[in-house]
Structure 1
Amino acid sequence: MSKVEEAMLPQNGAGSGGDAEGSKKPQYLITLAATMLVFSGGAVIGWSAPALPMLEKANSTLPFQATTDESSWIGSLLAIGALIGAFPAGSLADMLGRKMAILVLSAPLLLSWGIIFFAGSAMMLFAARLIGGIGLGAICTIVPMYIAEIAEDSVRGTLCSFFQLMLCAGILYTYSIGAGATYYQIAAACSVLPVVFIVLFFRAPETPVFLLKKDRRAQAEKSLRALRGSQYNTTKELHALENELNKQGKDQSNFMQALSRREAKLAITISIGMMFCQQLSGINIVIFYASKIFIDSGSTLPPELCTILVGLAQVVSTLVSMVLIDKAGRKILLQISAASMAVCLTILGYYFMKKDRGDDVSSIGLLPVVAVITYILLFAIGFGPIPWMMSGEVLPSDIKGVVTGIAVSLNWTLAFIVTKTFKMLTDNLGNANTYFLLAGFCVAALLFCTFVVIETKGKSLQEIQDELAGRKNTKRSNVI
């Protein structure tokens, strides 16, 4: 039995590594297993970078050749599927449970890869990308919810960062394979990922929060022991969770009534606003069109290598973010991320301005590569992981399912709009002005996270709600 599977079983002996304060190791291993599905989703996102050039090129090994317009839809339909899948995902998690809903989401990814492998027309690829997107959108909604509900306050930021890390690692996986593999080899290598996830996650516990909501206290206690170690005293945490759920039950209101509460309005503003900031920063343009950006810039590096560097930059910087997020805090990382991205996009715009007006740019041919990779590094320490995480942290429980679905659907709607209109923007505004426009959005994101977003580092979910409602606990220490 693997170490991951051992951690998912309730421990009966003393050798679990836990104590009266609990062990964090099971939480890390279970989070790693859950986010293997996110890794699979990252592979779905990254597939278009190596696969679309193969589909557009006359190739005797493929049954058809895609037109430029068909390629555009093959890349963009993923976002449409994601926005469709995100909205009902919260309700699915409430109905089936977090664990079962996550397991079910491996099915659309497997089906998508099967269709891609056997596709004989662009229409089949349209269907495959739409189905894969539906699964991806639901994954983006439910997996962060699961992680937030199993994590202790002191490591919640780090564990939630696994989502972005595994998403980036999945993208890098596809980029790396695509550099030397055939169309069919890429599909085959990606199709095994959901199977690996099922094997690792099958024995994971359900979240204690969901079990208590269903009045299954004994199972909630068993789940906590699996998550914290056999020697952990579950009484205090179970009582705290029960008190919070009982309070929510007394305060239960319909969705429209909930919107009248100060904490709900501010939480929704933060959650929705950060999704706008994340997508309007232009991140999906960089991911989906990485090779094209480097080709247009006249870079002397092979486009395949540049694309891999982009993926590697995401993974490395997300690892840095995981170290900092529960130490430095969310807000400062968002501010650094937004300000730095604005600078990088301005530099990229300046390069294209010189190039497009006919200036000699041969001496600064590496500038766009450096700007894009730096942009990716700084996106991934802040606006990569934190918007997903903070939706789970700031939203009140009675509206979390609905608003999370709306926020994720909005995120993918914006991803589709930005990706689909990128060519139109560059055709009408030019490369330089397009990147200057994106830099302006990053400046707006800096202002938003400075004046609207609150710091959630080390705070319990109840303390966050108190702060949003204007009931700050002045006695509380901000030191973890």
Structure 2
Amino acid sequence: MKLIQSGESIMTVKLHLASVFDNPNCLLGRRNRNQFLVTLLVNIATFSHGLGVGWMSPVMRDLQTEDSPLDFPVLVDQVSWIGSVVGIGSVMGNLLAGFLQDRIGRKLVMLFIALPYTVFWFLVYFVQSVEFLYIGRLMAGITGGTCYVVLPTFISEIADSNVRGRLGSMILLSVNTGVLAGYIVSTSVDYFTSPPFIIALPVCYFICIFLFPETPHHLIRKGKVEAAKKSFMFYKNITKDDIKAESEFEELKYLLTKEQNEKTKSFNYKDFITKPAFKAYASAGVLLMSNQFSASFCVTTYLSDVFAASHTTLNLSMCTIIIGALQIVGNYVTTLLCDKYGRRILMLTSTSGASACLLAFGTFTFFAATTDLTMVGWLPLVILSLFVLFCNIGMVGCLFVVLVELFPAKIRSVGVSTFVVILSSTVFLTLKIFPICMAVWGISITMWCCSGITFAGFIYFFFFLEETNGKSLLEA
């Protein structure tokens, strides 16, 4: 009797698992399994990039102290360059990826990503002067900039529309996981101990890229139909003839060929001055302004300095790690909700919540400068934790998903590449001026200004941002 009941229980579990995996929205389902696995593998690059960003945050503060691990002094102005030069590298990476990905393919560009990142850690380890750190951060920026152009394009082309949002949002989830790992490594391990081990990451990434094919979209555009069909079957995890899959592939080939022919015949400046194009420019511009001038990336980069200026009574290393963990939580929430509830509601929640947190943080630091608030010295951590959480469920987590979906198909490649370059340029600007603003205006006024810009983004999104969830990338 017990054996029968045990057998029935096992059968019930198997049936339940089968029903879960048969769900077309399940990332581990048969149809989506390879898409999910490949997305995880390519995001080794974004994890590595985030690890470098997180590792540098506490290090930059240590370089200015008497306990600096280096044999030469690093001044405040030099630290601002170490922090911001990553933006210049990011622009270079954006331009490089934008120029090459349609010419040589997404896969070859992704292979290149490993090179500058490896150079970054070599320069960090063999540092002889501050110029080594400048060039190293430039290399790290090239890695990040290349990732932020080619990976959203690659993932959007291999993913089904019902899981595209979740897979695309994993880019920032992976970055923030890396940032947390960087915080932990930097505060737990000696400066010269970690680089030799971290260099293994780009090596593993480089090897993994060889395991899967180029996207079917790119192969079709290059006229390699048989290779495109094999690629399509791989990413849809189809191992034998399937009439429905054959029909899907033929439809994809027809639409891409038609799009290619139309581009060849009629692609001109008029495609960039249509009403849908201008709506995309406006929404993308506000999205980038909200993302950068909310200080989301500045807080991540200069987190130790921000906490030091907030009059908190808590341990700075502990605060840094908690914030890193909450970045991951915010991005994970995005992966769960962006396909279910849409992008618009997440953007509204993100901008309104982040604006309120910045206002609260500025107000706390304003009064803490003249009043003893040690009784609530934990409050800056709570406010910044909520701020990071709100930023990452929309403005950060959905950034590349929404950016790709905003533009009409005919100008999508140029539009996304252009705005990512603008984003990277803005990263350099904000990282350069943020510590200066804190020094000249004080942290309170700086945070209030960021709050106002973020709230303006909320107003725009409330009235003008259209939902893009479920939109086909071949729609005009």
Give the TM-score taking structure 1 as reference length. 0.89
Is 1:379–2:387 an aligned residue pair?
A: no
Match of 2:315 among 292, 302, 312: 302
Question: How far apart, in 2, do the equivalents of 1:396 and 1:88 lie?
Answer: 23
How far, CA to CA, are the matches of 2:162 and 2:117 in structure 1?
33
* Partners of 1:178 and 1:429 in 2: CA distance: 30
Aligned counterpart for 1:188 among listed residues 185, 196, 221: 196
Identify the residue that residue 469 of structure 1 maps to in structure 2. Answer: none
The one of 339, 343, 346 equivalent to 2:352 is 339
| Paired residue type of 1:436 | W
| Correspondence for 1:418 among 424, 430, 435 | 430
Query: Structure 1 residue 462: deviation in Å?
Result: 3.5
The equivalent residue for 1:245 is: 256
1:207 equivalent in alignment to 2:220:
no
Tell me the residue number matched to 2:16: none
The 2-side partners of 1:129 and 1:193 are apart by: 17
Identity of aligned residues (%): 29
What is the DSSP-based 3-state SS (H/G/I as helix, E as strand, rest coil) of the residue aligned with 1:63?
A: coil
User: In the TM superposition, what whole-angstrom CA distance separates every residue of 1:241-279 from its partner, at most 9, and x where no partner exists?
Assistant: 223223323432445222122222222332233112111
Does residue 270 of structure 1 match 2:283? Answer: yes
Contact 1:267 1:395 in 2 (8 A): yes
The count of corresponding residues between Structure 1 and Structure 2 is: 447
Change (3 A) 1:179 1:370: same
CA distance in 2, matches of 1:373, 1:436: 17
1:351 to 364, 373, 377: 364
Tell which deviates more after alignment, 411-420 or 312-321: 411-420
User: Distance in 1 between the 2:206 and 2:288 partners?
Assistant: 29
Cross-structure match for 2:154: 146
Equivalent runs, 1:48-59 vs 2, <5 Å: 48-59=56-67
1:429-451: CA deviation from partner (whole Å, max 9, x where unpaired): 32212111111011111012222
Kept in 1: contact 2:166–2:338 (CA 8 A): yes
Q: 1:365 maps to which residue?
A: 377
Deviations 1:149-181 (A, max 9, x none): 000011000110110110101111110111111
Where 1:206 maps in the other structure, the secondary structure is coil
Conserved 8 A contact 1:91-1:401: no
**Matched-pair contact (CA < 8 Å) for 1:59–1:65:** no
Q: Which residue of 2 aligns with 1:98?
A: 106
Deviates more, 1:77-86 or 1:335-344: 77-86
Q: Cα gap change, 1:26/1:60 in structure 2, threshold over 3 Å: closer, same or farther? A: closer
Residue type at the aligned position of 1:353: F
Matched, 1:66 2:74: yes
Q: Does 1:316 align with 2:324?
A: no
CA distance in 1, matches of 2:63, 2:199: 19
TM-score by length of 2: 0.89
CA contact (8 A) 2:166 2:339 kept: yes
Aligned twin of 1:87: 95
Instruction: Say which SS state the counterpart of residue 179 (structure 1) adopts.
Output: helix
2:128 aligned counterpart, secondary structure = coil
Does the C-alpha gap of structure 1 residues 247 and 393 become closer, same or farther in structure 2, counting only changes over 3 Å?
Answer: same
Aligned counterpart for 2:50 among listed residues 28, 42, 45:
42
| CA deviation map 1:70-93 (0-9, x unaligned) | 111111111111122212312211
Native 8 Å contact 1:144 1:389 kept in 2: yes
Secondary structure in structure 2 of the residue aligned to 1:184: coil
Residues 56-75 of structure 1, C-alpha deviation per residue, up to 9 Å, x if partnerless? 23458533231222111111
Is 1:448 aligned with 2:456? no
Which one-letter code corresponds to 2:79 in the other structure?
S
Amino acid at match of 1:452: F
Aligned position for 1:236: 247
Quick check: 1:126 aligned with 2:139? no
SS of equivalent to 2:437: helix
1:240 positional shift:
2.4
Cα distance between partner residues in 1 of 2:99 and 2:251: 24
Q: Is the 8 A contact 2:314 2:377 kept in 1?
A: no
2:420 aligns with: 408
Q: Secondary structure at the match of 1:251?
A: helix
Give the 3-state SS of the residue equivalent to 1:327 in structure 2: helix
Structure 2 gap segments, 5+ residues each: 1-20
Q: Which residue of 2 aligns with 1:457?
A: 469
Counterpart in 2 of 1:164? Answer: 172
Residue deviations 1:411-457, cap 9 Å, x none?
A: 12112212211233223332212111111011111012222221111
Corresponding residue for residue 451 of structure 2: 439
Q: Is the 8 A contact 2:61 2:304 kept in 1?
A: no
* CA root-mean-square deviation: 2.0
